[in-house]
Each structure stands twice: as structure tokens, then as C-alpha cells.
Amino acid sequence: MTISLATFAALLLPALLLVAAAAAVFRRLSALQRRVGSPCDPWLADLSVERYRPMVRLLNSDDIRFLRSQPGVTPAMLHRLRQQRCQIFRGYLRSLELDFHQASDALVQVMLQSQVDRRDLIPVLLGSRLKFATAAFSIRCRLVLYRWNIGQEPVQRLLGLFEGLQLELLAWTPTPQGVALVINV
């Protein structure tokens, strides 16, 4: 039986992607096991979705509509405002991505150190990471369009994913008495 080069490539590419994904997960889990410190570090107290609520207003078109109705406002001024808002939004997005990954890593660490076996949460966590990455990518693409006055991206879904992870992490983090709260997913 002879396999064509195209068929071989079509079979090889998904296999390589799967191996690369498994290696990335293994490397990340290995790094988590070597990491010193507790997921209960002080950053957890500052972890809040409220810090990112201004992202919703940054891309809201109400301010642009208001400015457009004002005398003396030029298209160049509106374009500059959009550029500035995009720059600020990107900063928030970078910070949100960092917090999400840090919280996600901390949740994995808590699960690894837990007395309760919750392997059932691994697919949920991986799904959450995939949804978050997809939503962040979509927002980055739409941000380019927003900058040029083409559409606007609602960020509520992204914030909801972060908030869900934050609540899961807080539920699994040991309380001051040393007892971990557990929620069923």
C-alpha cells in the first residue's frame, strides 16, 4: 500500500500538533511542581475581576458619539482617541491574561497538593483555558477593527471566564483554618 505525500502530511501534522501540546502541558506541570511558594500568596487577595471592569467602558462608543456631536471635534481627534483607548485596553488585556494564567496555574497547584482527588476538574480547567485564549484572540482581532472605527468588542465573556476561574481558585484555596473549600463543577 502506497501513501501519497499529501496524505502523509495530512496525518503527520495533527500528530505533531498533539505531541507539541502534550509537551507544553507536561512542561507547565513540571514547572508547577518545582515552583516554591503557595497559591495563597498575597497576590490572591488582590485578584479581582473588578479591576478589569473599565475594559468594558473603554470600547463603548457612547463617548465617541458624544464627542462627534461637539463643535470643533475633527476626525483626526476621534482617531487619536480610539488609538489611545486601544493602547490602554491592550494593557488591561495583558494584565488580565497574566492574572488568568497565574490563577489557572495556582489552581492546578492546589489540585496537585489537595487531599481530595479532583481529576474531573482537569478537563474543565483545560476547557476554560481554551475558551479564554479563544476569546482573547478574538478580542485582539476585533481591537484592530475598533481602532479603525469598525465595530466594537464586548469583553463581558472574557471577564466572565476570568471570574469563574477566580471563584474556583478561591473555593479551592485553603482558608485561614487550613481547610480547603470545595465546590462541585
Listed range (27-36, 40-49, 65-74) with the worst mean pLDDT: 27-36
How far from the centroid of its chain's Cα atoms is residue 18's Cα? 22
Report pLDDT for 91.
92
Report pLDDT for 79.
85
Q: Are 78 and 146 in contact (CB under 8 A)?
A: no
Q: Are 42 and 129 in contact (CB under 8 A)?
A: no
Report pLDDT for 159.
81
pTM of the shown model:
0.62
Residues 6 or more apart from 154 whose CB is under 8 A from it?
A: 56
How far from the centroid of its chain's Cα atoms is residue 87's Cα? 18
Q: Are 168 and 178 in contact (CB under 8 A)?
A: no
Is 37 a residue whose pLDDT tops 50?
no
Q: Would you kindly state where each structural domain of the chain is located, as residue ranges?
A: 1-34, 39-172
Helical H segments across 71-176, by residue range: 75-113, 121-147, 156-172
Higher pLDDT, residue 84 or 147: 84
Report pLDDT for 61.
75
Higher pLDDT, residue 23 or 96: 96
Report pLDDT for 179.
39
Tell me how crowded residue 172 is: count the other CB atoms within 10 A of its CB. 22
Listed range (25-39, 111-125, 132-146, 162-176) with the worst mean pLDDT: 25-39
Report pLDDT for 183.
38
Whole-number Å distance between alpha carbons of 43 and 3: 54
Dihedral sign for Cα 65, 71, 75, 77, please. negative
**Percent of the chain predicted with pLDDT > 70:** 71
